[in-house]
Amino acid sequence: MTRGLAEHVRSFGRRLGIAGRPSAGRLARDAQRYWSGSSTDACRRDLSHWAGEGRWADQDRWRRIGRTHLAMFHALCDLAGAAPPRGRMLEWGPGGGANAVCFAEVFETFIGVDISQANLDECGRQLEAMGYGGFEPVHIEAAAPESVLDRVGEPIDLFLCTAVYQHMPGKEYGRRVTRCAAALLAPGGLALIQTRYPGDDPATGSKCDDYERNVLQFTAYRVEEFWALARECGLEPLAVRLVEQDRYAYYFLRKPPEDGDE
């Protein structure tokens, strides 16, 4: 059976109430296929924040992504009472490199972890164009985010993830990634994570099937829910900033320092 026909049969079965929900592994593979499509699909390049594509034909608008998050990084350092680190950072889902080009001005090493090779390649092109030599791309199988733990040797000073959690294939998946963040960070290391939160309309809540149709709002956490999740995963929430028009919540987090380090 072709993939299109198989999906058609599954969706028909779901409508009749005789087909189960897709497994976590299947949703992860659907996500990987979707984001890998930026190699051929202009709409996915726009969604992946590639400079010059769609909305990002406006260069200033594209630059504002990284500048905004860099300003939040400095606010996070102030909150944590820490001097801005300059060593190693990791961005989960760097897309076309809008954050990378700003953070590369600060960090010696920029590790990009993504399920899309095409997006990692574009991020690499942007960094190369500015003469940056510290890029380490890490392409992972979407169904195995923990594989990053073996691929990234040294601890990191900053974990950054913006405009990705809402596209993750489920809340449990986001928990797995947050655990990876805590495991990768050095004690006292910082994390800036943005998630989407649901509104009153049920359509803005998390989804459980049909990844491609629901990609824009697949996963949403209530603010207190993600705050608690981060804590359970080993990250200390310092503050949260809401951007109501997008229902974005930015969490300012740190991995607790080891005893005697503060």
Ligand X SMILES: C[S@@+](CC[C@H](N)C(=O)[O-])C[C@H]1O[C@@H](n2cnc3c(N)ncnc32)[C@H](O)[C@@H]1O
CB 211 within 8 A of CB 169: yes
Binder among 53, 114, 135, 219 for ligand X (CB under 6 A): 114
3-state secondary structure of 172: helix
Binder among 85, 94, 170, 189 for ligand X (CB under 6 A): 94
Stretch that binds ligand X, among 129-137, 157-165, 227-235, 236-244 (CB under 6 A): 157-165
CB of 72 to ligand X, least distance (A): 12
By C-beta, is 16 or 39 nearer to ligand X?
39
CB of 258 to ligand X, least distance (A): 29
Q: Is 127 a binder of ligand X (CB under 6 A)?
A: no
Sheet containing strand 109-114, strands side by side: 135-139, 109-114, 88-92, 156-161, 185-196, 248-254, 236-243
Question: Residue 97: CB partners within 8 Å, gap ≥ 6?
Answer: 49, 51, 112, 122, 123, 124, 125, 126, 127
Which residues in 228-257 contact ligand X (CB under 6 A)?
none
Which residues in 27-46 contact ligand X (CB under 6 A)?
31, 35
Stretch that binds ligand X, among 130-138, 160-168, 222-230, 252-260 (CB under 6 A): 160-168
Q: Is 115 a binder of ligand X (CB under 6 A)?
A: yes
CB of 118 to ligand X, least distance (A): 8
- What is the torsional sign of CA 135, 118, 169, 217? positive
Stretch that binds ligand X, among 2-10, 73-81, 163-171, 183-191 (CB under 6 A): 163-171
Q: Is 178 a binder of ligand X (CB under 6 A)?
A: no
Q: Is 174 a binder of ligand X (CB under 6 A)?
A: no
Query: In whole angstroms, how far apart are CA 8 and each of 2, 5, 74, 214, 215?
Result: 10, 5, 48, 16, 18
What are the phi and psi torsion angles at 243 (to 5°)? -115, 95
CA distance 218 to 145: 18
CB of 12 to ligand X, least distance (A): 27
Q: Is 88 a binder of ligand X (CB under 6 A)?
A: no
CA distance 94 to 116: 10
Give the interface with ligand X as residue ranges (CB under 6 A): 31, 35, 47-49, 65, 92-95, 98-99, 113-116, 119, 142, 162-164, 167-168
